[in-house]
Chain A
Amino acid sequence: MKIIHCPINGPRPLQEFHFGGQVREMPVGSQVSDAEWADYVFNRSGEPGIQREWWYHTASGTWFIAERDCQSDEFIRTYLYGGRESDA
């Protein structure tokens, strides 16, 4: 079972976390076409490499960002959203 470093609680087992999907910028609805909006809603990048993801530490209610290599399944680092970047 993987260990994930929660920026608040330190290393904890995967079981305590909830995956929140890729970090993506929501477009301003009025400025995009229907097709562009649908692309945002339905499509995700499956590109191998380092991906920014949302993770949630369930026990403490902490949302944070993780940089994960989705090819090797390695967590590179984790940090709070918009907050100070911590070492993974």
Chain B
Amino acid sequence: MPNRLPERDGEWIDRSQSVRFRFEGKTHEGFAGDVLSSALWANGVRLLGRSFKYHRPRGIYSLAGHDISSMVEDAQRTNLRGDLLPIEPNLDVRAVNTAGSLERDWLRITDHFGRFMPVGFYYKAFHTPRRLFPLYENRIRKIAGLGRVNPKGHLPPSAKDYAFCDFVVVGGGPAGLAGAIAAAEQGLKVLLVEEHPHLGGSLLWQHARDEAAREQLKDLLSRADALENLTIRCGTQVAGWYADHWLALVDAERLTKLRAMCTLVATGCFEQPAVFGNNDLPGVMLSSAARRLIYLYRVRPFERAVVLTGNREGYGVALDLLQAGVHVVAVVDLRANGEMSDLAESVAAAGIEIFKHHAVYEAVASRDKTSVVGAILCPLNEQGGPESIGRVKLSCDGIVMSVGWTPASGIAYQAGLRFEYDERVEQLIPESESDRVFVAGRAAGVFDLESQMEDGRRAGLAAAAACGRFEGDIPERPVHTGPPPSHPYPIMPHPGKKNFVDLDEDLHLADFKNAHQEGFDNIELIKRFTTVGMGPTQGKLSNFNAIRILSRLNGATINETGSTVSRPFHQPVSMAKLSGRRFHPMRHTPLHAQHLALSANMIHAGSWLRPEYYKIDDSSRADCILSEAENVRSGVGVIDLSTLGKLHFCGPDAARFLEQIYTGTFSEQRVGRLRYALGCDEQGIIIEDGVVARLSEHHFYVTATSSGAAGFYRDLQRWALLFEMDVTLVNETGHLAAINLAGPKAREVLRSLSDFALDDDAFPYLAVRQGHVAGAEALLMRIGFVGELGYEIHIPAGTATHVWQKLLEAGRELEIRPFGVEAQRLLRLEKGHLIVGQDTDALTHPYEADLGWAIKAKKPFFIGSRSLQILAARPLARQLVGLALPQSSKVPLPEECHLIIEDGEIAGRITSVAHRTTLGQPIAMAFVTPEMASPGREVTIRVAGGKLLVATVVPMPFYDPENSRQKVAD
């Protein structure tokens, strides 16, 4: 490790633990605490990756988690950032986006074709002819791209947890620490979240040379440590801020969903690069990166450095470099007057040459173009642009940029704050704070260390006040004094070399000028056309320079130009963090275990699990379903209907209420009788059908469709409020089980188990009776949904298993069998009964479904009545009809939703179909136009593969049109 500096207090590396790892097939050594980039740099490796588009060599740039040109992958994971990835034994990684190897990437040739590929090139060149686009796309993706996903990789699912606090502080620098301490001292439960492995923020690198700052940090840490109500999580990203202080925290192990009451954004700033020729070469880096190398990882960044600056910090960096044993060749200051403070004197006293009102015009590349061998300086003209005369070439292997900052404002934007440009600091600062979202420190344009802590304390007290824990005066935010910490335009045009604005997307200055010339003169447009800020860092190092460029091109101010907001996630979050178990509520009926014991194949039906059919040894699914149905037709079967909505309507207004909800009349319904009930919404669309049983004058029992029951009950509750009626609703859907006993032998089965008369006179079709079945209290409804003699038996859920077993026992000699949802669908289709939501859609009104008979239009009002009045006067657009399908044909039978075609146009669709039926013929229900709806009419169905099948319209029901089966007397 030739570039490693001597041990120093506060370093992040653990020199007692040396770590061997592999990069691009070669073994290197570093220390625990190193990230990949720092360990490689310590070993003199400067070529860390290739860029996205031109495959240009790249090295360390920010060392703050934004170096997307040092992305690597291993056998499992991809797009790992070298400046975030801790080294560990067995780490074996290679650079992404290279062909061959990193050093001999043959795609580096694309760099030479750059001038033929201006921004927007892909849109224009590859969009015609369209049929070739997939070919181009494939090629482009291979050349311009990042890591490849390993489809065979397996990452263990990440844990999720929840956390709660009064005050969440994002960022553990001086402002964040001071804010967290101030709020915790007022008794708030505080959570401080720091993305890096250690607390301290800028104190660790920006102020590291200053002995007083080190003491300051120690003091803050010990005060924080003493507060029991202050929790600290380091190595944790705040990935997103969602409504009402709901935050996503991500660390190496888990995703935490945090609920807070107040938020402090003390995230500091992203240092911004300068734009000059070859400003992306390995060896050109931000001053914060150089300082991180020196103070956190103890790596000497270069041998000979040139510092380009536009602020006070650059002089501090020059002194930091000097202390680290770097020969500082020059400090190049963009400002006309240079630096006025004593720092400039210290730099000059150290023998470093200062070039005022100069810029670095170009970084000179080595012969192999993978490193810096010099810097060309140019004097600036009055407008701050480069002069062509008076240029100086200096020999160096590193160029440090210290030209300005932009707030790490992502979380603040997500929390609803907006930023505006302030010329006192030449950066964006928050326009205002909300009463529960605060910004402090450099993110708010406060750069002086004491002021930062004061600002943090102010926010902490404001949060305590918002939580009702502090009543004293809250100080004002300190104001920045002195020259601005950012330079307003650190951007140099350069005709030859690529001067990059966005290193993610390989965009250089000329791309913006071209885009502007093409008319993309608005920040939102230029962003989309150039793709600036759309790369992996989401513009953290490029957006603001793009705004500066555009505002200059437009001759507008920054505030007139505007900035773009930021959405979650603030930093990329791996899919493994987001994936995991889904907690999807699933309802079981009381008979679930019985179904499993009978080898049922269970399927999802809305929120329920229901038996699709019961498996029999070697029989196919279709055979099982058909034989279950045939058994109902010829003998007797049982089906679990516990999923039905089961509602009680009680009270003097119950009948009147039902009449407003449903299309029918119920006032004169006799006690002990059933009626079909059809419910519409205000548009007159069918939303519900069921059966209404009158149990007494003021008591009705109603069943509702399985899938719609929950929503229907919810609507009923609101209508009961709105109608102001004396009616009480009781939802017994979960309390009761229901079993339908159906088939010509149903009465025989029931006879031995019931304590009431079953013959046709005592219990006729469409009657309801209460009594006992197998000793259990039961309510029975005699209805024929499947078209046979049938009793729907409603019993308390706790007795369901007992009754079910007794029914099966009692019917054993009659060969009773359970049947599933599929057999029931077949049986009801044969009977021509529609299923709401299957045979109707969001536009189906009763007249289309031949249910006009169920509408009692003379009633003064029911939900949907006014709409139905309008619809009744209009010609029908479509009608639900029955279709007989050919028995044997070379063309496959249709599936649900296949279209009916007439004269080349869509004329309808299949809503239900059965390929095998107890009738021996395949049948379907379909919507067709009224002209096609008369029986005997042939219709053409477009089936799978685009083939056409001719079917015939037939009257419904297909089975037992006289309804004799369900009314059978004995």
List A residues at the B interface (Cβ < 8 Å). 1-3, 14, 18, 20, 26, 29, 32, 34, 37-38, 40-42, 54, 56, 58, 61, 63, 73, 81-82
A-B contact pairs, 14 of them (CB 8 A): A1-B244, A3-B244, A14-B243, A29-B865, A29-B869, A32-B866, A37-B867, A37-B870, A54-B718, A56-B718, A58-B714, A61-B714, A63-B721, A73-B243
Would A1 and B718 count as touching, CB distance under 8 A?
no
Q: How far is the CA of A22 from the CA of B633 in the complex (A)?
A: 49
Would B866 and A29 count as touching, CB distance under 8 A?
yes
Would B867 and A41 count as touching, CB distance under 8 A?
yes
Interface of chain B, helix or strand or loop or mixed?
helix
Would B714 and A18 count as touching, CB distance under 8 A?
yes
Point out the residues of chain A lying under 8 angstroms from B242, CB to CB: 1
Would A37 and B717 count as touching, CB distance under 8 A?
no
Chain A's closest residue to B861 (CB) is A29
Point out the residues of chain B lying under 8 angstroms from A58, CB to CB: 714
Q: Which 9 A-B pairs have the closest CB atoms?
A: A29-B866, A2-B243, A3-B244, A1-B246, A63-B718, A37-B866, A2-B244, A34-B870, A41-B682
Let me know if B564 is at the binding interface, CB within 8 A: no
Point out the residues of chain B lying under 8 angstroms from A32, CB to CB: 866
Per-residue A-contact encoding for B838-880, CB less than 8 Å = 1, 0 else: 0000000000000000000000010001110110000000000
Point out the residues of chain B lying under 8 angstroms from A42, CB to CB: 683
Would B717 and A63 count as touching, CB distance under 8 A?
yes
Chain B's closest residue to A40 (CB) is B682
List B residues at the A interface (Cβ < 8 Å). 242-244, 246, 682-683, 714, 717-718, 721-722, 861, 865-867, 869-870
> A60: shortest Cβ distance to chain B, in Å?
11
Q: How far is the CA of A1 from the CA of B568 in the complex (A)?
A: 13
CB contact under 8 A between A56 and B682, given known A1-B244, A1-B246, A37-B867: no
Apart from A29-B865, A37-B870, list 13 A-B contacts with CB within 8 A.
A1-B246, A2-B246, A18-B714, A29-B861, A37-B867, A38-B870, A40-B682, A41-B867, A56-B718, A63-B718, A63-B721, A81-B721, A82-B721
Q: How far is the CA of A3 from the CA of B867 in the complex (A)?
A: 37
Point out the residues of chain B lying under 8 angstroms from A1, CB to CB: 242-244, 246
Point out the residues of chain A lying under 8 angstroms from B714, CB to CB: 18, 56, 58, 61
Q: How far is the CA of A20 from the CA of B721 in the complex (A)?
A: 14
Q: How far is the CA of A41 from the CA of B865 in the complex (A)?
A: 12
Chain B's closest residue to A42 (CB) is B683
Point out the residues of chain A lying under 8 angstroms from B718, CB to CB: 20, 54, 56, 63
CB contact between B717 and one of A26, A34, A61 (< 8 Å): that residue = A61
Chain B's closest residue to A34 (CB) is B870
> B524: shortest Cβ distance to chain A, in Å?
20
Point out the residues of chain A lying under 8 angstroms from B721, CB to CB: 63, 81-82
> B50: shortest Cβ distance to chain A, in Å?
41
> A2: shortest Cβ distance to chain B, in Å?
4
Chain A's closest residue to B683 (CB) is A41
Point out the residues of chain B lying under 8 angstroms from A29, CB to CB: 861, 865-866, 869
Q: How far is the CA of A14 from the CA of B259 in the complex (A)?
A: 13
Q: How far is the CA of A54 from the CA of B717 in the complex (A)?
A: 12
Chain A's closest residue to B682 (CB) is A41
Chain A's closest residue to B860 (CB) is A30
> B705: shortest Cβ distance to chain A, in Å?
18
> B646: shortest Cβ distance to chain A, in Å?
16
> A9: shortest Cβ distance to chain B, in Å?
15
Point out the residues of chain A lying under 8 angstroms from B683, CB to CB: 41-42
> B249: shortest Cβ distance to chain A, in Å?
15
Chain A's closest residue to B710 (CB) is A58
> B416: shortest Cβ distance to chain A, in Å?
8
Q: How far is the CA of A81 from the CA of B722 in the complex (A)?
A: 9
